[in-house]
Structure 1
């Protein structure tokens, strides 16, 4: 059954966010020197959430290094219409990495870690020892995402953790690198990750709702579920062990407190902040602005300001933060939707007004806008109308990114396999040498229709076109086995 278009939140959701004001009228907060009417602001956010299909969000606004407004919108569980509140925790996604960045610089100030010392000299990593280049990797390279380590082991050869770029030479985002750095710090301190992050970060800042892992629904009842492109609730990620790269759960208010502590000079020295924001590699640019990876954070350099940025994606969640070092102003956005970060440009426009066009114009936002258009068409149309719309988009948008359609179909396969198969058929007719669509059609014939001969034809063609994901060799072998069994 299709997810119905979200009912307009404005008239049905209580304003449950934790409202923080500082000598201001209760119906206003100040951002960028302007009075922001809270009711109008919230109505705008709720309208956007409804239009896009975002179930829930936690938002905090920083002005002059103070949290001037925090609010939690919508639902933590859209399927059951369970409303989120100010203490509802969301997955921080890759913003989790910033806690390790913070710890690393505090330890450097104490002389406990050398950012330029090869990591293996602190702790060897058996998963990387097969490649001698791993002995070149330093903590600084991890912070810069220039270690060369692949993002996650399963990205390429799932049996081997690979170094895919020369260490120190080129930006290559790596979650595995942060996992390794966390273990190095554990070795240095002789203390588990959970213990030292709690001691160094959570306890001093009184972050009592922030969790380094989510290991029990019963133990942590006020949490948000993630939701896919179509508003369908995902199963909750339960993990017995933390992932320093991605597993932290928090509220926007608590993350805002943490972010302020990076720059208010109460815990990190000016030298640490300067070094942390020293740029390593320019990733993209527009007139008047450049987007860089720096020594721990992403940063935007404008003519008269430097902005700090970090965003992240977990299954069913998006997170984003933006902060002006000069103006001490920014926002933190945590959402329980794969489309959630689409709120960021409008939040900035109607509140913080930071010069971040180089961030908002990048390919991620363009891809999400395209996915959102597909999602809206799916939710609003019947199947025949939707398939016609897919055909029209393919015909009228010759420059579309094939990976956007592949991502969309992969998500649709989890909730509506019949429609996903039909979309793959439309796209296959557009391009009969599209490996991913051949794979989807092959898996549909194999798993749903049990037409093993047809499945084998699709899957072999996909493999011949260099499609290697999804255990395709295993599926081909299974089809061949089924055909042999049928002959006996």
Structure 2
């Protein structure tokens, strides 16, 4: 007898058979909190969630949730670790601020005075780069070396003038700390953070971690092969639980580990993120959400199959950490905030590049895709185009296009072409369409659309590496193309 798997999974969910594993938990934030989280995970397609809530500067709630029908054969428990992605940078933020307090490192002294860096020597502007710039992502250093020339690092903007998110900047800063302390990254992170804070489920690399790890999933629910970083990656290689990261956040701002001056500095805006959203900016170590009565710190972490977020109010001493094993995980952030801390995160969610939050048109359309297939999803898109306002429609179609670029590039191309017809000024739509067409080996239109995204002002990440790839592919067929 043929079983309707999706209907069967829905019944499991309704019967409460989505597993939730409690780890050092106090009372739930609300009476039906578990039920609401499970339902949200199922509808959003998120297999697992590690959630920690901070109240009054203490870890008040920690729980790991699992939606078994979505998580395959792997089970989780209270010690299951997740890939931290860029949340890893907060460990270096802690160490650097300790060193500044001790006078070992000066925030505005060029890093080259501490350590020459061969990969940047080709550009004299690197001699202007300071620790404060690196922490605030305005050093100008590209995000990762393979983005452009794999043999050197490129400086994409004059240091101190523009937001350029840079993992490589943090890698450089970690090497400076290594020289100053005479210790490897593993050694100083262990001695200064992991051991004294008793972070029992935090690991600097895959090589040192246990086998009890979550497996990441793409936006369509397909599991990724586990990323195995054999050595530490200071900008993004930690593996941990939400509870351990929450303990790090508490230690950063409890006044016992770094000075009040450093805490104020971390909350000071240094570079804007969005000219249309001045309340959303970057300080030395964290994104800042400026509200009338508070400054809320935020940081995200992304690796393939993992999406994580943290929010924390130093003034109110409250916040939350969410780690998920899904590329769709952070769609739950707004609702989790409403259920736990109630922080004013409106400036964050107004950002053009923050994914649509639960419940959303994108979630509903993906449910149609999972249950009934692509044709029914496109019928739903037709209804969206007929009823939604232009901003909602454009953002939803861009988000869907992004999801399908890797999962089904032909579907992505169709969605994004439709969006460009309706919203011809969306630089993100052209950028994503270029990627979809690259995946389909349509390099000529991909080049044109990527180029047009630049003309429209797209600057979320460098476009030139992809233009270069298109040129190279076109030159194989037409040597005259330059």
TM-score, normalised via structure 2 length: 0.82
The alpha-carbon deviation at position 9 of structure 1 amounts to 3.7
Q: Describe the shift of the 1:439–1:277 C-alpha distance in structure 2 as closer, same or farther (beyond 3 A).
A: closer
Measured in 2, the distance between the counterparts of 1:333 and 1:464 equals 36
Correspondence for 2:231: 241
Distance 1:245 1:251 in 2: 17
* 1:169-211 superposed Cα distances (whole Å, 9 cap, x missing partner): 2222211110110111111112111111111110111112101
Distance 1:321 1:113, change over 3 A: same
Is residue 316 of structure 1 aligned with residue 305 of structure 2? yes
Q: Does 1:117 align with 2:115?
A: no
Alignment correspondent of 1:50: 42
Where does residue 260 of structure 1 map in the other structure?
Answer: 250
Q: Residue in 2 aligned with 1:195?
A: 187
User: Paired residue for 2:474?
Assistant: 476
Offset at residue 440 of structure 1 (A): 4.5
Q: Is structure 2 residue 236 aligned with structure 1 residue 250?
A: no
From 152, 169, 178, give the equivalent of 1:177: 169
Report the structure number with the largest CA radius of gyration. 1
Query: What's the CA shift for 1:371?
Result: 4.7
Note the C-alpha offset of 1:81.
Answer: 3.8
**Partners in 2 of 1:286 and 1:459 — Cα distance?**
28
Q: Which is further off, 396-405 or 235-244? A: 396-405
Structure 2 SS opposite 1:16: strand
Which residue of 2 is the match for residue 274 of structure 1? 264
Is the CA contact (8 Å cut-off) linking 1:61 and 1:67 kept in structure 2? yes
Q: 1:206 aligned to 2:198?
A: yes
Please tell me whether the aligned partners of residues 75 and 84 of structure 1 are also in contact (alpha carbons under 8 angstroms): no
Match of 1:359 in 2: 348
- Equivalent residues of 2:142, 2:166 under 8 A apart: yes
2:21 pairs with 1:16: yes
Q: Distance in 2 between matches of 1:84 and 1:61?
A: 19
CA contact (8 A) 1:65 1:264 kept: yes
- Structure 2: any 5+ residue segments left out of the alignment? 455-462
Deviation at 1:305, TM superposition (A): 2.5
Q: Deviations over 1:450-478 (max 9, x none)?
A: xxxxx687678768879862722343355
1:451 corresponds to: none
Residue 167 of structure 1 aligns to a residue whose secondary structure is coil
1:125 Cα shift? Answer: 1.4
Q: Tell whether the 8 Å contact from 1:142 to 1:181 is kept in structure 2 after alignment.
A: yes
2:305 touches 2:326 (CA, 8 Å); kept in 1?
Answer: yes
The aligned counterpart of 1:25 is none
Root mean square deviation, CA, Å: 3.5
What is the aligned counterpart of 2:375 among 362, 371, 384? 384
Note closer, same or farther for the CA distance 1:205–1:77 as it changes in structure 2 (3 Å cut): farther
Aligned partner (choices 108, 122, 142) of residue 100 of structure 2 = 108
Contact preservation (8 Å) 1:286, 1:358: no
1:151 partnered with 2:143: yes
Q: Give structure 1 stretches of 5+ with no counterpart.
A: 22-27, 30-35, 447-454, 482-488
| Deviation, structure 1 residue 303 | 2.8
Structure-2 change in CA distance of 1:441 and 1:258 (3 Å) = closer
Q: Matched residue pairs, number?
A: 455
Q: For residues 358 and 4 of structure 1, what CA distance do their matches in structure 2 show? A: 37
- Rounded to whole Å, the distance in 2 between the matches of 1:435 and 1:263 is 39
CA contact (8 A) 1:460 1:476 kept: no
